[in-house]
Structure 1
């Protein structure tokens, strides 16, 4: 049986899925910082692999998976930029009956936070999200990423400095 046919075999594909779902989900989460979006990205990537199984060499399927997740993430970011540009042009609808001042401040803060997080390098964002979102200790992060605890501390320090610099009142 040649390698690309192996991926089209349902049992082999299921094994590939089970073997890589957790790693791909973690990768997607550290890219986008949201579990639901990460799961969507990973599911879409596996769907693309299944649809193109005959074109993908089984030995390169893992690389294809992670590349696809990354590309889907980048496409999602581009789409969000378009949506945000449209939202700027469209009038805001107050669904929660919050005061206009509160809604404006909340929206401004969200934009500042998104912009500040986007300024972080992948490594800084990864450490920041592991620590602040998942609650991991620096020692645990160092073991996960196979780096020193000092490197984790430095990345976190720089990430926090960038966030403080770009978001006042944080």
Structure 2
């Protein structure tokens, strides 16, 4: 009993002895229980690596139990992960919408018209409008960026909005 307390798995000769004695048994256990899909060679090696990392907390008497438990848990975790991946792959992705093809076509046409009106708009109106509506900047921020007053920004955004309403049927912003 005293000899057991003095030796630890961290000693190279004991670890090597455990490896020689148990590695084939762990490999065979994993292979027979889970098959070759669980990669028993790698799992056995990883179990021994975990033993080495925890060598100061695992006594030589409990090393066998530790190794089998760790190896088994590694395989179970791997299988669980594979199941999650499989479920994710099986999950149906939405490939259709409730929107009619006619609506999609009208939306594309409207976007083309909208971009054309914006392109033909004076730059000062377009810039103020896009900063306000597309980038959600406050009028004060826009005024600082453009080096103009807040009233000028308000006028430019309003003027751009008016041009869009005149040239685009059904245009409104909330």
TM-score normalised by the chain length of structure 2:
0.47
Greater RCO between the two (CA within 8 Å, min separation 6)?
Answer: 1
TM-score normalised by the chain length of structure 1:
0.49
Richer in helix (by share): 1
Larger of the two Rg values belongs to structure:
2
